[in-house]
């Protein structure tokens, strides 16, 4: 099983358990980080595939797929955020963009299309707009594919996935800004309040002047 605190991300507090004792220890650890914990069946063997989506519900397109390469069983906080840190030449961490990856992922065309279609569907179902990277779990033996999680900006701008898809960084930012303006115009056209007398007939016990 994989045990995850529901509200953290960055692999903090996530553990794999393959027996009862490890499961109990993993739950103890996870409940130290959140009051709700997710326990999932572990996908084994596991191949991870990520795909970003750009646009909105009306017009969304997928990036190329990438395959992050784990140095550990679970892609850890260290892998994600500290791998470019201390001791690296640049001296700063670039997070996911520094991580080892295959881009585009070395997977069959059919799977690439399946991931891209599901990525767009997920993005639209959740009503996303702008850029989001959607992470998948795949069992290469059975071909099963799961949406694992969706990552929002600024954590996961995934500019490298767009560069690989022929969208340079400035064009990506341009598209995102256009999306933001569009979203703003759409929101401005919506009503967020309306006049009502709904509370006028209610008497609140204990308020000044009231005897009931």
Residues that bind ligand ADP (CB under 6 A): 2, 4, 9-11, 14, 40, 42-43, 46, 48, 74-75, 135, 137, 148-149
Count Cβ atoms within 10 A of the Cβ of residue 133 and give its class: 0-12 exposed, 13-18 middle, 19 or more buried. Answer: buried
Task: State the minimum distance, in angstroms, from the CB of residue 120 to ligand ADP.
Answer: 20
Task: State the minimum distance, in angstroms, from the CB of residue 191 to ligand ADP.
Answer: 36
Task: State the minimum distance, in angstroms, from the CB of residue 138 to ligand ADP.
Answer: 10
Other beta carbons less than 10 A from residue 165's beta carbon: 18
Of residues 48 and 66, the one with the C-beta less far from ligand ADP: 48
Of residues 9 and 94, the one with the C-beta less far from ligand ADP: 9
Rg (CA), the chain: 23
Of residues 72 and 170, the one with the C-beta less far from ligand ADP: 72
The 3-class secondary structure across 144-204, one letter per residue, is CEEEEEEEECCCCCCHHHHHHCCCCHHHHHHHHHHHHHHHHHHHHCCCCCCCCCCCCCCCC
Other beta carbons less than 10 A from residue 85's beta carbon: 15
Of residues 55 and 63, the one with the C-beta less far from ligand ADP: 63
- Alpha helix stretches (DSSP H) within 126-167: 159-164
Task: State the minimum distance, in angstroms, from the CB of residue 73 to ligand ADP.
Answer: 7
Of residues 53 and 75, the one with the C-beta less far from ligand ADP: 75
Task: State the minimum distance, in angstroms, from the CB of residue 77 to ligand ADP.
Answer: 8
């Amino acid at each position: 099983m994989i045990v995850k605190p529901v509200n953290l991300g960055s692999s903090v507090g996530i553990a794999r358990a393959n027996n009862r004792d490890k499961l109990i220890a993993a739950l103890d650890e996870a409940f130290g980080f959140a009051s709700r914990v997710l326990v999932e069946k572990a996908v084994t063997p596991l191949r991870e595939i990520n795909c970003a989506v750009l646009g909105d519900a009306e017009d969304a397109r997928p990036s190329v797929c990438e395959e992050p390469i784990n140095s550990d069983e679970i892609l850890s906080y260290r892998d994600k955020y500290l791998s470019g840190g201390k001791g690296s030449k640049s001296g700063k961490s670039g997070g996911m963009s520094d991580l080892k990856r295959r881009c585009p992922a070395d997977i069959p065309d059919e799977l690439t299309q399946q991931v891209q279609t599901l990525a767009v569907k997920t993005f639209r179902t959740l009503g996303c707009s702008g850029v989001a990277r959607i992470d998948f779990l795949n069992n290469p033996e059975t071909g099963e594919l799961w949406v694992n999680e969706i990552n929002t900006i600024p954590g996961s701008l995934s500019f490298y996935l767009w560069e690989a898809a022929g969208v340079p960084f400035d064009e990506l930012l341009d598209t995102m800004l256009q999306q933001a303006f569009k979203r703003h115009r759409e929101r401005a056209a919506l009503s967020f309040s309306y006049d009502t007398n709904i509370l006028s007939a209610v008497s609140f016990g204990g308020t000044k002047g009231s005897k009931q």
